[in-house]
Every structure is written in C-alpha cells, then in structure tokens.
Amino acid sequence: MARLWGRDWSRGELERRVGDIQQIGGVRLVELADGKERGVRAAQFRTGTGFAFTVLLDRALDISSAEYCGRSLNWRSMTEDVHPAYFEPDGLNWVRTFYGGLVVTCGLTWAGAPCSEPVGIGTNRLGPRDLGLHGRISHTPAKNVWADGEWEGDDYRMWVRGRCQESMVFAENLILHREISTRIGANSFELVDTVENAGFDRTEHQLLYHVNIGFPAVDGDSELLSPSSEIIPRDADAAAGLDQARRLDDPVHAYDEKAYFHTLSGAGDGATGTAIVNRKLGFGVFLKFNLNELPYYTQWKMMGERSYVVGMEPANCLPVGRAAEREAGRLQFLEGRETRRYRLEIGALTSHAEIDEFERSVAAWSAG
C-alpha cells in the first residue's frame, strides 16, 4: 500500500479520489529546450511524498536532479544537463559535460583517470588507445525507451527502461540494459543494470557509479556514514586530511579535491551501504548496493566554493585508470556473450529517526 500523508492508502481508496494517478505521482517524458540542454530527452518521476527525480534518456538514463520536499539530494555543476553531442572525450575534458547530478555512470570498458594503452593490449587491435577520463557511456543516448507505470496489487510502480550500446568495429560491443523504478509513497528508487557483452571476444569491463551528493545534505559538520574497515588516501593531499575524511566542512576557497578508497564491510550476502547525513537538518542521502557486484568504493571529497560535493562511488574497479588496474591485476573482463547484473538503491533520509536507523544498519554491516 502507498504510504502518504501519515497513513496507508489502497488502490481503491486512491482511485476513488483522482481522475488520473498523475495527480498524486507518476512518470512522464519531456524534452529540454534551451542552450546546451536543447534536445535532451528526459523522464520525470514524482512519488507523491515530495520525492522527485529526473532521468536523462540521452545521457545513458543517468539521474540528473533529485529532491525531497524542495531539498536537493545532489550537487549540480555549472555545465547544465548537456546534450551528448558536446562530449569531448580526450584527457580530462569529460568534466566539460559533467553536470554533477545524482548518478553519472562511468565505463563500460574503462573508468577513472586518463591513460594510454599500446596496440596489442586487450581489445587494442587498431593501434594505441588514449582513454579519457571515466569512459564514454554517460554520453550515449538510450534507445528502445519505455516509461510507464501500473498497479501491482495496492502498490503503484513506475519505471523507465532502455538500453545503451558502447561499440567499436574490431573492438568492444557492450550493451547496458537499464531499468530505474520507484513506487508511489516511496522516498527512494532502484537502479538495475545488466551489462551484456554482445560480441564473441573477451572484453575489458570497468563500471563506476558517480553518485554526487550536494547541499543541504552536504554542509559543515555533515558526515559520511560507512562500514569502513580501512580507508586509503589516494595521494599526499588526501593523506593529510585522512583523520577527517568522513567529516565535512563549510565551503573552502581554492580547495584541492581529495579521494579515499574505502574497504567496506557488509552482510553475509554482500549487502552494504553508505550515506551522507546532516544531523542539524535531520536530512541525508543513502546508497545501498552489493559488494559481490561492486567490491570497490571511492569517496570523492570536494569542499570547494561552488564545487561543493561528496561523491559516493561504488565500482568494480578503482578509478586510477585502466592501465594501472590491469597492471595491479584488478581489471575485470566480460567473456563473449557474458552478462553481469548490478543493483543500487538511492534515496532520502527524511528525519533524525531515519538517520539513526541507517546508522544502526551501518553498525550491523561493520560487525559482519
């Protein structure tokens, strides 16, 4: 049943009171119309609780903006929801079209820092390959898109589905099948990905979910809740702030970004999660996933003015570049015709009681 306005509602009770379920919540397709966003298709979700989010169909079905009762869950950059035609793949130029957003997908064949690989390594048959920051998939429009909703008993479930293809003649041919779904009365959504190697050759596979949390969840004295058994700083700058890695600050002028690699604990089945919480406000954003699918986790801490964001980033790799992952023996592959499934749940913590409940879950995951 849908939990709305302090009580549970059956399908019949709601349908008697509205002519169209969109009066309460639902999903609808729209198209952005101005500036560098022009032509970007999107799906807008509302659940009736004040929880709403936007999925960009032309950016790999990634999540742009999300909010709960006017409080943003995510950070937004100054670039807007840029059309993928503006993508600049070389070096660090990925950030020119990095709109922030709640979820940006990095991969599918490489993610992390730019690097170069010589001809004859892996799928590099055509010559040396220069791999820019975080891969190509987030700039890939979805096709076979289906946005809809239906009653499942007394629950109204809504979704958007589609697939994106990362392919190159004589190289990789990977397909991302994605479904994002939620329900009326919910304050979270589920993202389920199936990555398919549609080719016959073994192919490199890196996948990182760049989950970008912003103000007001991120603020001075906010913190990262995580079942971390070890935290490794990426570099000397991060090492200098290691003792305060999970504590957040007010915006700092000319702040240098820091990254930390967390070893997370989880339940016996691999379930785990993290959250950014603002206890003064009684508000936060949580992320749940499975360590058997995504064994690595990076915290991106950026406390700069305007660039004021903390990234919660589960992945099947560390974001140090594909060449370094290959050398370290961590690089994952998909065999020909193989598929792999990933699931995330992301949502709002809307009260002190919900923050306390999530902290108890973190303690349980830490205990194993």
Residue-by-residue pLDDT tens, the chain, 368 positions = 999 999 999 999 999 999 999 999 999 999 999 999 999 999 999 999 999 999 999 999 999 999 999 999 999 999 999 999 999 999 999 999 999 999 999 999 999 999 999 987 887 777 788 999 999 999 999 999 999 999 999 999 999 999 999 999 989 999 999 999 999 999 999 999 999 999 999 999 999 999 999 999 999 999 999 999 999 999 999 999 999 999 999 999 999 999 999 999 999 999 999 999 999 999 999 999 999 999 999 999 999 999 999 999 999 999 999 999 999 999 999 999 999 999 999 999 999 999 999 999 999 999 98
| Model confidence pTM above 0.85 | yes
Q: Which residues contact 112 (CB under 8 A, 6 or more apart)?
A: 106, 133, 134, 206, 208, 317, 318, 319, 320, 321, 322, 325
Question: Of 225, 228, 221, which is closest to residue 278 (Cα–Cα)?
Answer: 221
**C-alpha 58: how far from chain center:** 16
* Token couple for 312: 């919660």
- Looking at domain 2-367, its CATH class is mainly beta
- Which one, of 304, 314, 347, 309, lies nearest residue 75 by Cα? 309
Q: How far apart are CA 314 and CA 147, in angstroms?
A: 26
Rounded distance between C-alpha atoms, residue 250 and residue 262, angstroms: 23
